[in-house]
Amino acid sequence: MTPPHRPSPQQQMDQAARAILEQLPTLTHRGLVVDSPPGAGKSTLVARAADALARSSTPCAVIAQTNSQVDHLVRRFARRHPHLKTARLTATDYTVPHDLQAHPGLRIGTRIEALEKRADVIVGTARKWATVTDRRWPWAIIDEAYQMRSDTLLWTAGLFDRVLFVGDPGQLDPFSEAKTDRFRGLSHDPMNSAVAVLLANNRDLPVHSLPVSWRLPPSAVPPISNAFYPSTPFHAGSREADRALTFSPLDIRTPTDEVIEHAARTGWALFELPARITGQRDAEAVQAVLGIAERLLARQAVTACEEDPEGHVLMPGDIAIGTAHRSQVHDIRALLTCHYPRLHGITVDTANRLQGCEFRVTIVLHPLSGRGDASAFHLEAGRLCVLTSRHRHACIVVARAGIAELLDAHPSNDPAYPGAASKVADGWEANHAVLAHLAEHTVHARARPGRRRG
Amino acid sequence: MIQLTSLLRMRAAHTGNVQRASQLRHLHLSDQPLMLLALKQTGPAARPLAVMLGTDPHRPRLLLAPPSGSTAPMLSALADAVTAYIDACQRHREHLPATSNKPARWRYTDAPQILVPNPQTVQHLKDLGDDLRFRSVDESPGSRAVQRLGHWLTYLTDRADLPGSAALIPMTSFLGMHWVSGQSPQEDEDLATLLAWIDPPRHAASGRDAAHTAEDPATHRPAGPATDAAFDNDHLAPLFDAYARARRRALGLEQTRTLQELDRLLATYLQPTWDLMWQAYTLLQALPEAKGTARRWDHERTAFTDECTYLTQDGRPRPARDNAVAAAVRLACMEHAAAAFAAGRTAGDPFVRAELRTTGKAFGGPVTTIDPEHTLHGPSGRTQWRPRLTVFTSDPVLMEPGQLLACHTHPSARYKICEVTPGDGDTLVGLEITAGMGTMDRPNHAVLPDAGAFLVFTIAPAPYRMPEFPARDQTPWTHGGPPAGQPYHSDEDEGEEEQ
């Protein structure tokens, strides 16, 4: 039950944002960290902070990790903060999207000299910022700082007096294909995320966290918060009644209909196929994923939420299909192009590339589905967290039976090292937690599968 | 990269015979490598028991540490042997003329190459290096040489972390690059059984049978550095006890006799592995070198020359832990070395390309059409010559338009994917040549393939530029600020571009 005087989500959020923004101009520390759960208004905060900082001193540098993240931020500045003179610092071999090129208020340049004099805010990738030298500015904001490798931070940290770090601690940690054991336990392990190294070397830095997820529906917040954000719990910004997913009624009910109806009611569904070791390429699972997407569109699903209280007919662009491997993305896309013309416009991508995106409904091919073993890659908490936290209404997971047994057969046995610790939850534990939650939402592909192999 | 290897492993397990994973050698093999087998005492972290080393297969040298007491004389002898080998590499130097981005330099014409049986021995040498390089230099004879040995061991084991380096190579990994056996990767770390699979004795029915025979505990000798527990109990322990007794009673003669016996015992113990090492060496030497191998060895010699220069100019030991900047530089070097080695192997070895084709990181097929005259207008309005071609492939194409590709026939040429048209089980890929074809005025027609030619395209390696890290004393506050103490020369020389 809600206590009587508990502030509304909006009030909580305003309070948190105000605390951060008010602290910025008078900050005595050299940095400030903001942990943000999925869909908590991270971009809004970055834009507001840049706006506030640009008032006292310009230019304010904004650093993101990928070009699409930078474009996304620039778009937000152009739309919501039109009074700011925004500049986009870009590499020569990257083509900025046409809508940004055509935007009159926006300056795009490949050299800092051409931008720094007149801009209030300069946005670019960390890699591009690394080419800037011999400057010293009072403030920078680093977005998606948990996705930034700490060696990347070395390139740019010297340019700024103070830095605001904003990021989602539950997402995928940076990785390298090199053998990196020799760095383990160093407080400046170049493989750790920028924030982990920052906090290991500056233990007294203030750390704030955003308390509310505006994206995730109330049904999704408890399992995601418990499994992936044990140290920074958060609440849902919407109420049960705000979010609805409805269909036109139907006479024939296939297991697929049962799945989407269950997901519409509860926000979650696990479509369980009979146990089988298939490896990465599981034709049956891929068919199931596409079948679910097709059913959602064929039955004219209507979503209603705070932003669209009147209801919105679900379009292919509102749906994402997430997987662990590129080859699975390829299989699904190939099948979609050839055999599912109605599904054109659906986003199909890996967890790495879905980071930061938002959809109304997501369909997830479970990373451990059909596998004979559970490697560190497949157990990574961030991967499952990204896949299960992109949706506003419902998340439907497709998996082969037997994942719980697989997990039990492969307990994580990675050695533990002293030193800077990642905030990411333990993958094995998080996988079990999500699975336990999904168990209550399981729909079997066949009513009662005759035989099971474990 | 795992699919083809797994298939070959299953095939090897099924047939009982080893499968070829590559027919070209990608690491340089010296004419005179220093073969080195090490045994350590069970118990202490890095106390050596014996080292067998040498450059002559018929005359191995055994250095023995006494079971208790000082190891200094043995380490000193080891230091002399290794240093003599390394010094021999510094006999001749070659002059390198200045290039557009580098001044004229010189480097040694040779570099040390140490071959050890397995990765565990590399780790043992690393531990030994960590121990020895910080030892203080005092009046006692050999103490400077021992410290220097520590320095070289650290240098060599650091090099061993870099893919494509040939300064210190574990033999089992080297063999594993060329042959896939039917046993598990863990079993492959045993030189005797792996070599039995690869090169079975003539009377053996199959590689698997030979490996079974080689596994016989009565004759099998682990290649070190750890000794067999049964060997410890049955053979070493009595001699150790005898030595300790003699030492307590100060019986000099008895001590020497025990040491002689230990020497004989360990020489016999190590001899089979020593012979196997040379057998493996002969096998590997018979393989033809891949194209990039000589260039990689050039880089090895450059690194060696730089290390020698450092030793004469500064010579302080490498720090026990990398500071923030050094760690980042080191990681960048490792990532670059891995990428460069992978790219070099892809360009030079059809087996590697075949493996990439199975995972969608490459595709191959005949050229169906070619439009050599195709041009387009660049952003500045200039006409650019961009010949186009279409490739028909039945490989899975996981790449998207815009991806830059390389082709083994012309390593400097680059191809951009314009469109991917999936058909029924096969794919048409439209490509545009973006580099390597010269200009319209001075075209390089050799790059333009003929229709019908079978080509394999792989993802082009990203152009590499060593990122500019701050100087050590400019370490930013986010990484704890500048570290205390004297700066150690950074590893920046290792950032050699291998293009």
Cβ distance B467 to A326 less than 8 Å, yes or no, reads no
Residue range B472-487, pLDDT digits in tens = 888 888 888 887 765 5
B373 is a domain residue: yes
Chain B nearest CA to A112, separation (Å)? 17
Average pLDDT over residues A79-92: 88
Q: Are B305 and B381 in the same domain?
A: no
Alpha-carbon distance of A94 to A90, in angstroms, equals 7
Q: End-to-end CA distance of chain B, in Å? A: 23
Pull the structure tokens for residue A266.
């509860």
Q: What is the pLDDT along chain B (499 residues), one digit of tens a residue?
A: 467 888 899 999 999 889 888 888 999 999 999 999 999 888 877 788 899 999 999 999 999 888 887 888 888 899 999 999 999 988 898 888 888 888 888 899 899 999 999 999 999 999 999 888 888 887 777 888 888 899 999 999 999 989 999 999 999 999 998 999 989 888 888 999 999 999 888 888 888 888 888 888 777 888 878 888 888 888 888 988 888 888 888 887 888 888 898 999 999 999 999 999 999 999 999 999 888 899 999 999 999 999 998 888 887 888 888 888 888 888 888 888 888 898 888 888 888 888 888 888 889 889 888 888 888 776 666 777 888 888 898 888 888 888 888 888 888 888 888 888 877 778 888 888 888 887 777 777 778 888 888 889 988 887 777 778 888 888 888 888 887 765 555 444 443 433 3
Average pLDDT over residues A16-36: 87
Pull the structure tokens for residue B9.
């492993």
The confidence score (pLDDT) of residue B486 equals 57
Q: Is B331 exposed, middle or buried (0-12, 13-18, 19+ CB in 10 A)?
A: buried
Q: What is the DSSP letter of B90?
A: T
In sequence order, the β-bridge partners of residue A244 are A304
Q: Are B151 and B23 in the same domain?
A: yes
Choose the mutation target among B398, B416, B479, B491 for the interface with A, i.e. most A CBs under 10 Å: B479
Chain A nearest CA to B322, separation (Å)? 8
Residue range B292-303, pLDDT digits in tens = 899 999 999 999
H helix runs in B116-206, sequence order: 119-132, 143-160, 171-176, 191-198
Choose the mutation target among A159, A188, A192 for the interface with B, i.e. most B CBs under 10 Å: A188
Q: Are B291 and B407 in the same domain?
A: no
Average pLDDT over residues A195-217: 89
The confidence score (pLDDT) of residue A1 equals 46
What one-character-per-residue DSSP string does A78-104 give? HHH-TTS-EEEE--TT-PPPHHHHT-T
Average pLDDT over residues A364-390: 89
Which of A154, A201, A338 faces B470 most closely, judged by CB atoms? A154
Does the predicted interface ipTM exceed a cut of 0.85?
Answer: no
Q: In whole angstroms, what separates CA B260 from the centre of its chain?
A: 37
B330 is a domain residue: no
Which of A163, A178, A197 faces B331 most closely, judged by CB atoms? A178
Alpha-carbon distance of A236 to B181, in angstroms, equals 55
Q: Are B312 and B437 in the same domain?
A: no
Which 3 state secondary structure label does DSSP give A261? helix
Q: Are B299 and B435 in the same domain?
A: no
Alpha-carbon distance of A448 to B59, in angstroms, equals 72
Q: What is the DSSP letter of A4?
A: T
In sequence order, the β-bridge partners of residue B427 are B393, B422
Average pLDDT over residues A32-42: 89
Alpha-carbon distance of A183 to A205, in angstroms, equals 24
Q: Are B110 and B238 in the same domain?
A: yes
B96: left (phi over 0), alpha (psi -120 to 50) or beta: beta
Q: Are B296 and B357 in the same domain?
A: no
Q: What is the DSSP letter of B142?
A: T
Place of tokens 């520390």: A29
B435 is a domain residue: yes
Chain A residues touching B321 at Cβ < 8 A: 186
The confidence score (pLDDT) of residue B354 equals 86
> Is the Cα torsion angle A377, A378, A379, A380 positive or negative in sign?
positive
B345 is a domain residue: no
Question: How many CB pairs below 8 A link A and B?
Answer: 94
Average pLDDT, chain A: 86
Instruction: Please count the other Cβ atoms lying within 10 Å of the Cβ belonging to residue A414.
Output: 10
Which range of residues forms the domain containing residue B405?
A: 350-459
Alpha-carbon distance of B60 to B56, in angstroms, equals 7
* Cβ-Cβ contacts under 8 Å for B56 (sequence gap 6 or more): none
B118 is a domain residue: yes
Alpha-carbon distance of A419 to A447, in angstroms, equals 50
B235 is a domain residue: yes
Which of B331, B360, B479 faces A197 most closely, judged by CB atoms? B479
Instruction: Please count the other Cβ atoms lying within 10 Å of the Cβ belonging to residue B315.
Output: 10
The crossing angle, in degrees rounded to 10, of helices A42-56 and A67-80 is: 70
Find, in chain B, the residue whose alpha carbon is nearest to that of A336: B422
On whether any CB of chain A is under 8 Å from the CB of B136, the answer is no
Place of tokens 């790219």: B343
In our burial notation (b when 16+ CB lie closer than 10 A, e otherwise), range B276-306 reads bbbbbbebbeeeebbebbeebbbbbbbbbbb
Pull the structure tokens for residue B415.
């191809």
Tell me if A174 sits within 8 A of A191, measured CB to CB: yes
Q: Is B97 exposed, middle or buried (0-12, 13-18, 19+ CB in 10 A)?
A: exposed
Find, in chain B, the residue whose alpha carbon is nearest to that of A197: B479
Q: Which of B268, B301, B320 is the last residue of a domain?
A: B320
Alpha-carbon distance of B402 to A70, in angstroms, equals 20
Q: Are B301 and B434 in the same domain?
A: no
- Which pLDDT band, with edges at 50, 70 and 90, does A5 fall under? low
Q: Are B369 and B312 in the same domain?
A: no
Q: Which of B300, B320, B340 is the last residue of a domain?
A: B320
Chain A nearest CA to B58, separation (Å)? 37
Which of B321, B398, B469 faces A155 most closely, judged by CB atoms? B469
Chain A nearest CA to B120, separation (Å)? 15
B479 is a domain residue: no
For residue A238, give Cα distances in angstroms to A44, A217, A233, A309, B422: 17, 6, 16, 12, 43
Task: Find the angle CA(A337)-CA(B420)-CA(B401) to the nearest 5 degrees.
Answer: 110
Q: Are B314 and B394 in the same domain?
A: no
Alpha-carbon distance of A364 to A384, in angstroms, equals 9
B339 is a domain residue: no
Chain A residues touching B323 at Cβ < 8 A: 188
Alpha-carbon distance of A236 to A219, in angstroms, equals 9
Q: Name which of A152-156, A372-376, A430-434 the model is least confident about.
A: A372-376
Of the candidates B229, B369, B367, B345, the one whose C-alpha atom is nearest the C-alpha of residue B296 is B345
Q: What is the CATH number of the domain that holds B361?
A: 2.40.30
Q: Are B378 and B287 in the same domain?
A: no
Which of A158, A198, A326 faces B474 most closely, judged by CB atoms? A158
Average pLDDT over residues A8-20: 85
Cβ distance A179 to B334 less than 8 Å, yes or no, reads yes
Q: Are B63 and B143 in the same domain?
A: yes
Query: What is the total count of domains within chain B?
Result: 2
Does the pLDDT at position A203 exceed 90?
no
On whether any CB of chain B is under 8 Å from the CB of A327, the answer is yes
The confidence score (pLDDT) of residue B487 equals 55
Does the pLDDT at position A144 exceed 60?
yes
DSSP H/E element including B47 = none
Cβ distance A327 to B360 less than 8 Å, yes or no, reads yes
DSSP H/E element including A268 = strand A268-273
Residue range B230-243, pLDDT digits in tens = 888 888 889 888 88
Task: Find the angle CA(B63)-CA(B67)-CA(B69) to the nearest 5 degrees.
Answer: 100
Average pLDDT over residues A116-126: 87
| Entry field: residues in chain A | 454
Which 3 state secondary structure label does DSSP give A34? strand
Chain A residues touching B331 at Cβ < 8 A: 151, 176, 178, 180, 183, 190-191
Chain A residues touching B422 at Cβ < 8 A: 334, 337-338
Q: In whole angstroms, what separates CA B246 from the centre of its chain?
A: 45
Choose the mutation target among A67, A133, A151 for the interface with B, i.e. most B CBs under 10 Å: A151
On whether any CB of chain A is under 8 Å from the CB of B467, the answer is yes
Place of tokens 């409805």: A246
